[in-house]
Structure 1
């Protein structure tokens, strides 16, 4: 049985109350389920929005159970839907656990499909073009052998099936496709294309689970085969919606990367090798292009921080423009060879596309968009980024003819959704703010230590370490120490290792992969983990393994970021207040994310320690405090120690 094209069924408050009640289907099917008024309130808001076709933005505090709160109305409405997430973890959870369980519990069978980005699917054409003998390493050659064996029997081509090869392995770039190098319907292996099959299954589904990147690809129809999901959907739920505006902006970004050029040169060399005769002239030109690309990499100033176009330097600009000219000439030379194979035809198109993008970046109007360069491990990414894409996002949402529900735990600044909704355009949104069901007054404290200097003061990080050490003793480790910069993190790690009174297992971002650090944190009895931005969100540690989250500074974005500087200048030029309109709300939302790592379940407890004295000394500190969960605030270390002692005395 599948959903038929019909009006959305009205979902009554009584009906939802029964579903989410103590004797309802969720209580029978969901482990540890307990009725929550907040979850029911969100479900009613979503059901009402779906029935009235009213667009909704809803912030649901941690512990609300927002996933079930929107999935139940989606299933009961009985119409086709798209659900978009910001992370693969949530995408997998929805597809593999929540939706099958709910469909059974509610007696609402539905065809559900999960669609991933094309980099998650094996490309048979590219696999056949890889030369095992020229693999970069013995390990890569071994991995190619495993992939070839797996390719013989896989049905989906989803690379997650082959768990023996890490998803960060370079081999996957060689055997998966991108929008740039895909041959589409011209591919000789198109009939067996895993991406095409996955998209066809998604078009036939009742509910499709995607990520924000794929949702934007469908909205903008930037790839062949997209623009075919939303026209069949009646409504779209965007979970982890705080990430959506930045993802959406990226789709209006024009970029050229060293990795793209590298990959093009490798693909073209493979196509030439596969031809009937060797083309010595072309092979020499590819070598010259590779050398020029290496020179462009070396022309950039040392460091890993993003650079404005002027900071990148004239030599970099000249070398990149030279690459564009050479690639355009190469496209002309490839024209007579395009009849040999679809692969050469696609390489020729890619040569011209990269050349055109470089020219567009080099000649852009810097008042409407920012030209900037981001150094990477593989070289660089040159970008042209519009400063404001809200009109484009609004036009896409309007054109979709869907009902939209955006939800996250961090959308409002205080009680105001204006900062988030303004990034979606000028349309009117219904908004709801659902509080967390947790009893923060009993299970949490916000500790603002006294006597710390301003963050700009010399030795500030040393003062932070001195202040957190007695708290770590009271908490018995089990802590995340979150920093706003890598420099402060490294300094804190050195200081802690030098202290004789610090004897906890120390885990430091950058010294091991993120996944290993989190696994080791869960295995250890009293760990202390030091992290920056990647640990401020998307980490869910429940129970008593994490009882302290320390934040060294209020998370204002770095003033050296060229994108931020350009945005602030644009606001200033339009008569606005850059701090109040952008920097402050962005920092408030980032702090909410960091604080949200602590209390994840009813049985959790702990202390949030914010070291930055501006939180209590500056007038804008009130907005930060109003946006956080209602935790009692203390300035006294003795209060923190008593709080830990009280909760630890009740532990088994």
Structure 2
């Protein structure tokens, strides 16, 4: 791996870094723009990687300004560039806020497009169908449908994000958006006004396309959207929040089939019968038989754990014959649909879907490859079966090689104690350029890391109770203003019970309201305490005094019941690699860095990071975790935490 740490010393007169310097256009034109050497170094490294068609890993600490560091060279390259982000929220922030600013300052005549997966766009045909059905909606859904209809008449993009009054998790969105399976393509009566087609056309004609990782992998890995490649001819791919790529790649290189897909197939086949004479007589029986087979299989799986290896599923009482019946009935429905496929575009569509699902089910249930991990998941009323590649490096490497493009991977959390080996190995990156840029924040002054003493082993039954006991004096010193991050939902629920009667501050608990609403209310409260798991560990930005404490209950090791992880660890062991130190610890370090990164988001922020896991000091690997955190002073004394907050209060309010 080639290090680029000395890039900051380059000082050519036409240096791209100068644009982001003290005498450059950004300093002149943008209020509050602060020139940063790290940002300029990254801009040069990105420019070099694009020009030489290289692979770059750039870890840029919080506050580096990595967005501008890659947007400036991307816009000045004269090449077609795809920028991919971890979430749709970041995608919108890039497209609507950051890109326009950079384009304006540079005066760049660059055509930019925003592209999301099809489920984000209103489908006019599905809306029309839903309105025609018209019955079966409660008052709330009827109001939401009226709002969607009114919006459909005025929207240009058809992006669900525009319509805040209909919640993101409303079941109505499933009725008025399309999937690759139920899209009618060129046969659709609304094809000329289709929002998905319009967005893709814009993306194909643009110089810079802003996508998210889900869409990028759907396009590059599977072409699953049904229109062939929608992001052709890019000379560079810039992956922001690149630490998410290993997990996402596993999803997109998997073969999967779910109860929901089978149920929707049956419902769509039944709906299609309405417009074709005599079809219902042929199809009603095989459709109902398939629906019953799905229901029976789910009942057979009831006693199993929520997820597990496929061979454990096959041990379930009556599961193998139930799986066999499902496969036979799906094949039978596929044959009947074949006889109707020429009668309508809709029937042709459902036949193709049935054939594809039948083939996938056969592959997952019957074929056992040493390259794949077969596993299952259970949901309250459904299930999913998967075959996931054991090693993602090979398909990812092949995918990149097909593009003949530069690949830039950036995030605040890619290294483990300064090394990128784990990230590079996961993605199959062979001898990439590597750049490590520290945050410009003054962690020695702005932050303190507190590791409470005398906490029990994290496996202890009363561990969460003891974590709350340790956190309470810190919360009292900070007057609330805290995130408590948990590695499990069980611990989160127990903490919520314990704190409900113990804290005078507003309590915000993940799951009690949508994530964005909880964050808005937390910010507005000024002294809130927010309890979160999983999704609150990253991508959450609360600058200023509203957040002054982050408490982390345990080191975030991946769940031991993950069958894919177990198979990967066994494979590493067979290769002579210690799976704990070679995989589990590095992955947990990167996750911990994400959680810790919630604390200091601005040059004016001050706060205390509370790490409760005693393994940080009792186990040898704890040093790796501590060495990977920002360089903040550490203490085991509660008195020092109190002094930290007292000093802050005595200095007056900190600017936000």
Whether the TM-score (by the shorter chain) exceeds 0.5 is yes
1:357 pairs with 2:341: no
1:39 equivalent in structure 2: 39
1:204 pairs with 2:199: no
Structure 2 CA distance, aligned partners of 1:126 and 1:505? 42
Q: Which 4+ residue blocks in structure 1 deviate beyond 4 angstroms?
A: 10-14
Residue 435 of structure 1: CA displacement? 0.3
Asked if the contact 1:11–1:77 (Cα under 8 Å) also holds between the matched residues in 2, the reply is no
Q: 1:303 to 1:32 in 2, by over 3 A?
A: farther
Residue 206 of structure 1: CA displacement? 0.7
Structure 1 CA distance, aligned partners of 2:466 and 2:619? 20
Give the SS at the match of 2:318.
helix
Structure 2 CA distance, aligned partners of 1:107 and 1:425? 38
User: TM (normalized to structure 2)?
Assistant: 0.94
Structure 2 CA distance, aligned partners of 1:132 and 1:142? 15
Structure 2 CA distance, aligned partners of 1:565 and 1:13? 53
Residue 112 of structure 1: CA displacement? 0.2
Give the SS at the match of 2:610.
strand
For these two proteins, the number of residue pairs brought into alignment is 640
Q: CA RMSD in A?
A: 2.0
Structure 2 CA distance, aligned partners of 1:352 and 1:97? 44
2:55 equivalent in structure 1: 55
CA deviations on 1:363-395 (whole Å, 9 max, x unpaired) are 132633222122234512211111112111101
Residue 303 of structure 1: CA displacement? 8.1
Asked if the contact 2:556–2:588 (Cα under 8 Å) also holds between the matched residues in 1, the reply is yes
Asked if the contact 1:259–1:378 (Cα under 8 Å) also holds between the matched residues in 2, the reply is no
Paired residues for 1:405-420 under 5 Å: 405-420=408-423
Asked if the contact 2:15–2:44 (Cα under 8 Å) also holds between the matched residues in 1, the reply is no
Paired residues for 1:160-559 under 5 Å: 160-220=161-221, 221-231=223-233, 233-277=234-278, 279-301=280-302, 305-312=306-313, 313-365=316-368, 367-499=370-502, 502-559=503-560
Asked if the contact 1:60–1:436 (Cα under 8 Å) also holds between the matched residues in 2, the reply is yes
Runs of 5+ consecutive residues of structure 2 not aligned to the other structure: 1-9
Residue 321 of structure 1: CA displacement? 3.3
2:78 equivalent in structure 1: 78
Residue 224 of structure 1: CA displacement? 3.2
Structure 2 CA distance, aligned partners of 1:403 and 1:269? 47
Asked if the contact 1:199–1:225 (Cα under 8 Å) also holds between the matched residues in 2, the reply is no
Structure 2 CA distance, aligned partners of 1:114 and 1:375? 35
Asked if the contact 2:450–2:636 (Cα under 8 Å) also holds between the matched residues in 1, the reply is yes
Runs of 5+ consecutive residues of structure 1 not aligned to the other structure: 1-9
Structure 1 CA distance, aligned partners of 2:571 and 2:117? 34
Comparing 527-536 and 430-439, the one that deviates more: 527-536
1:132 pairs with 2:158: no
Give the SS at the match of 1:244.
helix
Structure 2 CA distance, aligned partners of 1:378 and 1:142? 27
Structure 2 CA distance, aligned partners of 1:185 and 1:314? 46
CA deviations on 1:473-519 (whole Å, 9 max, x unpaired) are 001111111111111111122222244xx322221122222222212
Structure 2 CA distance, aligned partners of 1:311 and 1:161? 45
CA deviations on 1:616-637 (whole Å, 9 max, x unpaired) are 1111111111110000010100
Comparing 601-610 and 504-513, the one that deviates more: 504-513
1:3 equivalent in structure 2: none
Q: 1:176 to 1:440 in 2, by over 3 A?
A: same
Q: 1:377 to 1:326 in 2, by over 3 A?
A: same
Residue 76 of structure 1: CA displacement? 1.7
Asked if the contact 1:13–1:44 (Cα under 8 Å) also holds between the matched residues in 2, the reply is no
Residue 260 of structure 1: CA displacement? 1.0
Structure 2 CA distance, aligned partners of 1:98 and 1:498? 43
1:570 equivalent in structure 2: 571
1:27 pairs with 2:30: no
